[in-house]
Amino acid sequence: MYNHSELKEVIDKALVNLSYNTEAARLIDPVKYILSIGGKRLRPVMALMACNLFSDKIDNAILPATGLEIFHNFTLVHDDIMDQASVRRGLPSVHQKWSISQAILSGDVMAFIANECFLQTPENHLLKVFRIFNKAAIEVCIGQQLDMDYEKAKVVTQDEYLRMIELKTAVLMAASVRIGALIGGGNDKDSDLLYEFGRNLGLAFQIQDDLLDIWGDAKVFGKPSGGDIVANKKTFPLIKALETGSGETLKQLKKLFASKDLDPEIKVREVIGLYEQLHIKEITEALANDYITLAFSLLRKVSVDEKRKKELTSVASSLIGRDH
Amino acid sequence: MYNHSELKEVIDKALVNLSYNTEAARLIDPVKYILSIGGKRLRPVMALMACNLFSDKIDNAILPATGLEIFHNFTLVHDDIMDQASVRRGLPSVHQKWSISQAILSGDVMAFIANECFLQTPENHLLKVFRIFNKAAIEVCIGQQLDMDYEKAKVVTQDEYLRMIELKTAVLMAASVRIGALIGGGNDKDSDLLYEFGRNLGLAFQIQDDLLDIWGDAKVFGKPSGGDIVANKKTFPLIKALETGSGETLKQLKKLFASKDLDPEIKVREVIGLYEQLHIKEITEALANDYITLAFSLLRKVSVDEKRKKELTSVASSLIGRDH
């Protein structure tokens, strides 16, 4: 059994050792940059952990796991253009450091470098693994589209929001563990259970992320509290507040989000005040908890010894802030 | 044996019949748009022709051929953003009609829709076909990178230029016929010959395109003559003129390309005048001819009856303007 830090090292090493066609150095520099500025390597690590559930040999899963990380970073490079985000992991985003054209093209080539990784999956698993990946990749694009659509929408329902984060965030985590499980020799039933585990964990993770943006400790969380409120982002707390609020509370809430020149600090404080009246923190925590509970119950059903699930359980717990 | 128009119809039909995940309609609308506004379907048609060289049954090649067309259109959508081209096939380009973000994302999903097509290649050919495609896809990205690099470069050599168009244009044509040949049951030797045929044809085609931009008939060619000269594009004629010109001619040429407020018509006329002094048209024609001659000699070596090569010969001739 490999532990978390060993698996992260395996992935970091695989990423560093990737061989590129360097005929056009400018194409690859941003690829190396985005892959080198950190990140938790969550998806590939979870893929390797899922593989390791069933097999002591994880070598066959390393390249597809690396492909998952490269794909994920491809989405970050392109999403940062679409979201006009100039910072990524505390450093300039690719389009900020180079240009939009460069970020488009270097992002594009990452999609095909990810393909190359999947094409090196052992042949007995290749087709199944590639299909799982590619379905997830299309779903991630749909999730990003819904995210952009909802940014402009007047009303977004809770169901619409949950489906969006499922597609944008959860399915790739789900696909990662399914791919790892299959390569490790897990049967279809266990691989499906792990897919659902990853999906529910991904949902919990994203909802937790929304919650931490408002109520998290800025020092621990790495970004100031309330950024989503300032940016009028329709995350779960706001959607829920608009859905459950009424009368004067709803009116005030709408006014706060409609205001254009309100001091950000005041806006955040007043919105949080209204959220507290509506018990939004508790409702959000409860929903995240529901998904976590479901995720862990699915993991328990996977037909391998509980001891082997230690690393996956621990990474899942840390993801949702239950590791301290 | 299928003729050109039958094969184009097969591809047009396959494109219309593609089934999409339409959960986010806005993601797919631009995909349907770019695939519906025409185009010669050159790559998939040539793939089917190459398949048809060896087999009367072309069904197995239809989906991979469709994938080639979707990939090609993906590159058009993203290249148009990078090149700030607002018109494509006489209609607004995708980013012009929607937005840059939409064109990035809808382009991205096309890369994965292309993957989906390749994943439906019959299993005995799938891996080989996918690897040929993916290698070409990475090379096309490199070609686009070199094209962007050379736009800013002071000097571009003939060799650099030829390598750029090889990657940007020729390798995908080459990969298309190789893929078709393999699926049709062609052996490695014939598939390699066809790859080289496609590569040389692609080079001839691009050089011919540069030539037609300057000396072509605007009515036949669909765009006004001299656009590349006005835009200071470093196409083959300019590269060759800078390489062979000297003294007063070179000085005048450089002056014309450095001038910022010269009337475009005058600029085109004067540049063409200098090109004529340097025999640039003849040199360019000769180079295109060399590639064409080589392409046809490679096609002749393919070990099937000459009669079966009729359609491929004819589409190749039409590409380089030898069909009338």
Among A211, A209, A202, smallest CA distance to A292 is for A202
Greatest Cα pair distance, chain A, in angstroms, is 64
Reading the block at residue B236, the tokens are: 């083959």
Residues of A in contact with B149 (CB under 8 A): 24, 26
CA distance B141 to chain A (A): 6
pLDDT at B323 over 70: no
CB-based contact A119 B104, cutoff 8 Å: no
CA distance A76 to A58: 27
Per-residue pLDDT at A218: 62
3-class SS at A219? helix
3-class SS at B46? helix
| Assigned fold of A4-319 | Farnesyl Diphosphate Synthase (1.10.600)
CA distance B179 to B128: 8
Per-residue pLDDT at B75: 98
Per-residue pLDDT at A223: 57
Of A78, A101, A119, the CB nearest to B108: A78
Reading the block at residue A267, the tokens are: 């806006």
In B153-187, where does DSSP find H-type helix? 158-165, 171-184
Please write the tens of the pLDDT for every residue from B86-99: 999 999 999 999 99
Q: Residue A152 CB: number of other CB atoms within 10 A?
A: 6
Residue window 136-195, chain A: list those with CB within 8 Å of chain B: 137-139, 141-142, 144-146, 148-149, 167
CA distance A205 to B288: 58
Of A104, A115, A127, the CB nearest to B82: A104
ipTM surpasses cut 0.85: yes
Residues of B in contact with A146 (CB under 8 A): 23-24
Residue of B322 and B261 predicted with greater confidence: B261
Please write the tens of the pLDDT for every residue from B176-219: 999 999 999 999 999 999 999 999 999 999 999 999 989 987 66
Cβ atoms B95, B102 nearer than 8 A: yes
Residue numbers in chain A where pLDDT is lower than 50: none
Cβ atoms A11, A44 nearer than 8 A: yes
Please write the tens of the pLDDT for every residue from A302-319: 999 999 999 999 999 998
